[in-house]
Amino acid sequence: MNNRHFDTLVIGSGPGGEGAAMKLSKAGRKVAMVELYRMVGGGCTHWGTIPSKALRHNVKRMMEFNSNPLYRDISEPKALTFPQLMRSTERVIGQQVERRSRYYARNSIPVLQGRARFIDAHTVELVQKDGRRQRYSADHFLIATGSRPYRPDDVDFEHPAVFDSDTILNLSHTPRSITIYGAGVIGSEYASIFRGLGAKVDLINTRERLLTFLDDEISDALSYHLRELGVLIRHNESHTRVEALDDGVVLQLESGKRVKNEVLLWAIGRTGNTQDMGLEALGIEPDGRGQLAVNACYQTAQPHIYAVGDVIGYPSLASAAYDQGRLAAGHILHGESDHRLVKDIPTGIYTIPEISSVGRTEQELTEAKVPYEVGHAFFQDLARAQITGQTTGMLKLLFHIDTLEILGIHCFGDQASEIVHIGQAIMSQPGEANNLMYFINTTFNYPTMAEAYRVAAINGYNRLS
């Protein structure tokens, strides 16, 4: 048996690569995982989802402790530093790596370390950090190399006060002030984190409102509560120059403003990790952002080479990447794919408070001339929220006036990314099973945050009277 030939070589051990490798292995295929770095998990585990969400969780808990009058009776407010919080985050990363390493060992999937470059359509060469090279061949390949922060040439990322969303995790102290350029998901999340640590935060948004893909009411709520935390948001701005000084970083804006803070976090745009992979010689041309075009079955211009996850762009979610990997693996196994990603993919945004939504927004339904109504449940009215003290936020249901079909679910507040899945399960049901009356006629545990569905459904139904 040729130990250097595989049925499928998966390049990249993030969620998309992992999902594909596990499915192929369990189907009896000879699979190997190629990983550039020493530890598996990809950007999701080491620089993206896991560290930022663990960091955010710890900051939020510190904020809750410091704002709770009960704890003030027994202790002074606590101030943890960024490095202290990162040590806790690193423990979570270690646990994730250990668990995922066991997955590969248990499923007899070798992990080959090195940077992959295609030599021909069925051969890759792995270059290790010490310069050693090894070639492997396969019948199929799956590219799941993820993405990295976009770095414009006019910004000096070598300066010790200039960071992107990967390198910010190496910050050696808690800054007194920070400029965050880019108010997308990453920028908004880090604005919450650093403001929670007590830093002065300038959040520079290149658009007219925060996170324009959200329902307008949710976007407005996020803006309000970030400002309530003390974040200064500047909309419709774009940079002309970044000046890194000994005592801070000055961001020059087209409007003439000069924003100076101790550090700068550049958080605008991502680039697919496709450089120096030899793809162009195979007729696979990455676009200007390094992303690969694929068909509905995740095949590139070479039908036996698949791509999933951030490297193909939208929706650029770890959850979706895992499913894409499994769907691509299904096509490799059976030559067809009878499943697609679910129509409505939930979005989770881990600001403070967090946001989650699934389905259509009010503006989308209005533009499509769909007759809909709105039901609200405000957390301040829920017993569970009053008990926990997490009264900021709401659940919002959008439903069809005539059929009562659930069209959109939008949640802002504590545990939003958990709460949304209850509605998602109902919304995904076929025909009349997707109906507002489910929430009205179902008995929910009391007190719970899930009860918000009954409250919002009744609120919306009463608007029809």
User: What domains are defined for the chain?
Assistant: 5-148+271-334 (3.50.50.60), 162-268 (3.50.50.60), 353-462 (3.30.390.30)
pLDDT attached to residue 338: 64
State how far Cα 214 lies from the chain centre.
Answer: 15
- Name the token pair of 304: 């036996």
Element (H, E) at 355: strand 355-359
Three-state DSSP state, 295: coil
Q: What is the rounded CA–CA span in Å between residue 410 and residue 217?
A: 9
pLDDT attached to residue 131: 84
**What interhelical angle do 318-334 and 15-26 show, nearest 10?**
30
Q: What is the rounded CA–CA span in Å between residue 288 and residue 271?
A: 9
Residue with tokens 């600001």: 351
Q: Please report, as a single letter, which amino acid is at residue 270.
A: R
Tell me the longest C-alpha to C-alpha distance in the chain: 74
Three-state DSSP state, 139: strand
Taking each continuous run of H as one helix and of E as one strand, the counts in the chain are 13, 22
Question: What distances in angstroms separate CA 309 from CA 12, 63, 93, 139, 456, one per listed residue?
Answer: 10, 34, 20, 21, 35
pLDDT attached to residue 76: 78
Three-state DSSP state, 409: strand
End-to-end alpha carbon distance in the chain: 73
Q: What is the rounded CA–CA span in Å between residue 276 and residue 286?
A: 11
* Cβ neighbourhood burial of 445 (10 Å; 0-12, 13-18, 19+): exposed
Using alpha carbons only, give the angle 144, 428, 392 rounded to the nearest 5 degrees. Answer: 85
For residue 447, whether the previous peptide bond is cis, meaning omega lies within 30 degrees of 0, is yes
Contact call for residues 97 and 84 (beta carbons, < 8 A) = no
Q: For the chain, which ranges sit under pLDDT 50? A: 1
The dihedrals phi and psi of 114, each to the nearest 5 degrees, come to 150, 170
